[in-house]
Amino acid sequence: MPYDPTSQSNLDQVKTNHIHLDLAVDFTAKVLTGSADLEIEAIADQTDKLILDTRYITIHSVTNDGKELAYELKEHDPKYGSALHIRLDRPLSKRERTTVRVGYSTTQDCTACQWLEPSQTVGKKHPYLFTQCQAIHARSLLPCQDSPSIKLTYSAHIHAPLRAVMSAVPTGQDKSTKGNDLTTFKFEQKTRIPSYLIALAVGNLEGREIGPRSTVWTEPEVLEDAAWEFVDTENFIRTGEALLTPYDWGRYDLLVLPASFPYGGMENPCLTFVTPSLLAGDRSLVDVVAHEIAHSWMGNLVTTENWEHFWLNEGFTVFVERKIIGRMKGKEHGDFSAIVGYNALQESVGHFGKEHPFTALCPCLRGEDPDDSFSRVPYEKGFNLLYYLEKHLGGPEVFEPYLRAHVQQFAGRSINTDEWKHFLYSYMTKHHGQEKVDLLNLVDWDAWLHGPGMPPVENQFDDSLARTCTDLSKKWDASRLAGSNNDTSAFSEKDIAEFSTNQTVVFLEELTELQDPMPHGHLDRMDELYQLTTVKNAEVRLRWQLLCLKADYEKIYPEVLAFATTMGRMKICRPLLRSLYKAKNGAELAREAFLKNKTFYHPIAATMISKDLGLAK
């Protein structure tokens, strides 16, 4: 029986096998209206009720074969929403199935949806809607058993005035009977998925083919750039297939969203959602696509049972992402990314505090909002555990076949850490015998899985790509120390000319982490040589602005405001506004800019920024 502390559904009695959505998109009222048909199956005898998760959804009716069912929408819980209790008209026995139809509308409070005005899009002419359901926002798009322990297929009819796309395969479109000027877009997802992977976007979208199974979708104004940036998509998929199993989802399309999309990428099946900040013009930020492709196996086929084992999604995905990068560009590139990740892990652990329960690989989430526990910990601590196990057990020759077997064993299922570990032991016993089992017994499982803080073992990564950037940051640091006379004449534009984006990022991050801020004269000189203020690359621009903010370098403030109010990816706007808020003469600027632009941000991002700037609890 599945356990999920963040769902109010009766997961012990019922499972959902399929959902059919029939929804009309109303851009004027900013609501979706229609129905969800849930094909449910009793998993216990005498099942006389169905409890669904909802959040800020209005229920119009509940029926079964056209007959009204009694229901009650319980009180709103601030973290988990309102449970919808439905009385079935007769008790179901185990394995008995039936279909329940819920008529409903979303409201403007629904946290899964962002409705954009035309002015908030690239083209400025048409409105736009997109959803973001992970972790527990699917209940704010449709009434459902909003737990990753439940895996279902889905189909949908979306009646919309502009093109609709979903995390499914499109199966056609017709003139809608629901209203003039509406088209019905039809979809089918035939592989079982958890509710958090249901996704919808509607807008002025055009597509261009970029591979044998891939189309990139976006507003026409950025289509050309998007198609150019993501040409490597098919190579990532093939590398993933060579490492694991054949790609199971039919299509792998990409949707490049408007700038308010709050994440870097979201692995919605058949259609990954990505931030437009990846469009660097030099293909330097496409590792995010490799990451989302890796989720096709880790997360989307093999899914965490609940958010306490989120690392089974993200830690495994980062591990596969770095394997893909390693195979395509060389192991040193995968390891360089691991070094960048380790620094980010240190930053997360520092942010929470090294004893904080959320720094454990498997945190307890009873009574918690998974959005609050979100950090680099499941990604990087999870990655480090797998990297350590691979080396400890004898390297890729032993571990890669195991990884494939893990996918074969668990595809289509939701699992927890115990089941993962149990299979690891049984695989090693069966294929390698007692020698590997003895090695597994030497692992400090309790520290890795439940201990707080940094990992109990520090892995050694190939640092050949890190060394040059570390050397340069040391040189800049030394040039402002006593005896050096602030002499910066030894630096030249050539210093970073050969650097990859990631290397420039590491160089700037290392300077930012130094105790003492950089003198303004140094920042002037660095900018003059490396042209950092005008740089377009979002990752480099972010790090340069953070370095300047740390030094209260007021010249950069207008640039920071321009970036943070036009880029809703939380990884970018949150640290910029937080850092401006702390900088000299920055607090009021940060607050004003945020309040003036509040509707630009996705609801999830707006809530977090309000907290960051002391405007909300």
Q: Annotated binding site, which residues?
A: 132-134, 262-267, 291, 295, 314, 569-571
Binding mask 279-308 for ligand BES (x = CB under 6 A): ---------x--xx--x-------------
CA distances from 475 to 92, 135, 543 (A): 73, 43, 18
**Among 101-109, 205-213, 264-272, 478-486, the segment contacting ligand BES (CB under 6 A):** 264-272
Name the residue with tokens 């595809």.
411
CB 374 within 8 A of CB 410: no
- Minimum distance, C-beta of residue 348 to ligand BES, in the bound complex (Å): 12
CA distance 454 to 354: 7
- Minimum distance, C-beta of residue 574 to ligand BES, in the bound complex (Å): 12
- Minimum distance, C-beta of residue 263 to ligand BES, in the bound complex (Å): 4
Strand partners, 172: 186
**Binds 452: which of Zn ion, ligand BES, none (CB < 5-8 Å by kind):** none
Strand partners, 303: 414
The residue at minimum Cβ distance from ligand BES is: 264
The amino acid at 593: A
Round to the nearest angstrom and report the end-to-end CA distance of the chain.
36
- Minimum distance, C-beta of residue 17 to ligand BES, in the bound complex (Å): 24
Based on CB atoms, which residue is closest to Zn ion, 270 or 561? 270
Count of beta carbons in the 10 Å neighbourhood of residue 363: 23
CA distance 340 to 231: 25
Q: Is 101 in the site for ligand BES (CB under 6 A)?
A: no
Binding residues for ligand BES restricted to 306-335, rule: CB under 6 A:
314
Judged by CB under 6 A, the residue of 143, 148, 264, 568 near ligand BES is 264
Which residue numbers are catalytic?
292, 379
Q: Is 348 in the site for ligand BES (CB under 6 A)?
A: no
Name the residue with tokens 């309102």.
82
- Minimum distance, C-beta of residue 148 to ligand BES, in the bound complex (Å): 11
CB 578 within 8 A of CB 612: yes
CA distance 155 to 317: 27
CA distance 23 to 269: 20
Q: Is 265 in the site for ligand BES (CB under 6 A)?
A: yes
Q: Is 564 in the site for ligand BES (CB under 6 A)?
A: no
CB 19 within 8 A of CB 189: no
Q: Where are the alpha helices (DSSP H) in 140-295?
A: 220-229, 233-243, 287-294
Based on CB atoms, which residue is closest to ligand BES, 69 or 285? 285
Judged by CB under 6 A, the residue of 84, 86, 129, 135 near ligand BES is 135
CA distance 84 to 442: 48
- Minimum distance, C-beta of residue 353 to ligand BES, in the bound complex (Å): 21
Residues annotated within the binding site for Zn(2+) are: 291, 295, 314
Pairing of strands 152-160, 14-26: parallel
Based on CB atoms, which residue is closest to ligand BES, 54 or 134? 134
- Minimum distance, C-beta of residue 460 to ligand BES, in the bound complex (Å): 23
Phi, psi of 354 (to 5 degrees): -70, -10
Binding residues for ligand BES restricted to 565-584, rule: CB under 6 A:
571
Residue positions counted in the chain: 617
Kindly determine how many residues on this chain lie close enough to bind Zn ion according to the rule CB under 5 A: 2
Name the residue with tokens 């979201």.
266
Binding residues for ligand BES restricted to 406-465, rule: CB under 6 A:
none
Sheet (strand 57-64) strand order:
67-68, 57-64, 97-106, 31-42, 14-26, 152-160, 183-193, 169-175
Q: Is the peptide bond before 138 cis (omega within 30 degrees of 0)?
A: no
Based on CB atoms, which residue is closest to Zn ion, 292 or 527? 292
Kindly determine how many residues on this chain lie close enough to bind ligand BES according to the rule CB under 6 A: 14
Based on CB atoms, which residue is closest to ligand BES, 282 or 487? 282
Q: Is 194 in the site for ligand BES (CB under 6 A)?
A: no
Based on CB atoms, which residue is closest to ligand BES, 137 or 157? 137
**67-97: b or e for each residue (b if 16 or more CB lie within 10 Å)?**
eebebebeeeeeebbbbbbbebeeebeeeee
**Binds 2: which of Zn ion, ligand BES, none (CB < 5-8 Å by kind):** none
CA distance 83 to 89: 19
- Minimum distance, C-beta of residue 567 to Zn ion, in the bound complex (Å): 20
Q: Where are the alpha helices (DSSP H) in 464-602?
A: 464-478, 501-513, 520-530, 538-550, 557-564, 570-582, 587-596
CB 49 within 8 A of CB 88: yes
Binding mask 208-247 for ligand BES (x = CB under 6 A): ----------------------------------------
Strand partners, 58: 105
Judged by CB under 6 A, the residue of 6, 8, 54, 134 near ligand BES is 134
CB 256 within 8 A of CB 217: yes
**Binds 265: which of ligand BES, Zn ion, none (CB < 5-8 Å by kind):** ligand BES
Binding mask 513-552 for ligand BES (x = CB under 6 A): ----------------------------------------
Residues annotated within the binding site for a peptide are: 132-134, 262-267, 569-571
Q: Is 344 in the site for ligand BES (CB under 6 A)?
A: no
Pairing of strands 82-92, 169-175: unpaired
Name the residue with tokens 């026995």.
93
Based on CB atoms, which residue is closest to ligand BES, 161 or 370? 370
Q: Is 358 in the site for ligand BES (CB under 6 A)?
A: no
Q: Is 22 in the site for ligand BES (CB under 6 A)?
A: no
**Binds 167: which of ligand BES, Zn ion, none (CB < 5-8 Å by kind):** none
Binding residues for Zn ion restricted to 288-327, rule: CB under 5 A:
314, 317
The most distant pair of C-alpha atoms in the chain lies apart, rounded to whole Å, by: 86
Pairing of strands 271-274, 206-211: unpaired
**Binds 571: which of ligand BES, Zn ion, none (CB < 5-8 Å by kind):** ligand BES
Name the residue with tokens 């800019």.
593
Phi, psi of 238 (to 5 degrees): -60, -40
Judged by CB under 6 A, the residue of 267, 380, 390, 510 near ligand BES is 267
Based on CB atoms, which residue is closest to ligand BES, 135 or 141? 135
User: Would you call 159 helix, strand, or coil by DSSP?
Assistant: strand
- Minimum distance, C-beta of residue 454 to ligand BES, in the bound complex (Å): 19
The amino acid at 526: M
- Minimum distance, C-beta of residue 610 to ligand BES, in the bound complex (Å): 19
Residue ranges that bind ligand BES, judged by CB under 6 A? 134-135, 263-267, 288, 291-292, 295, 314, 374, 571
Residue ranges that bind Zn ion, judged by CB under 5 A? 314, 317
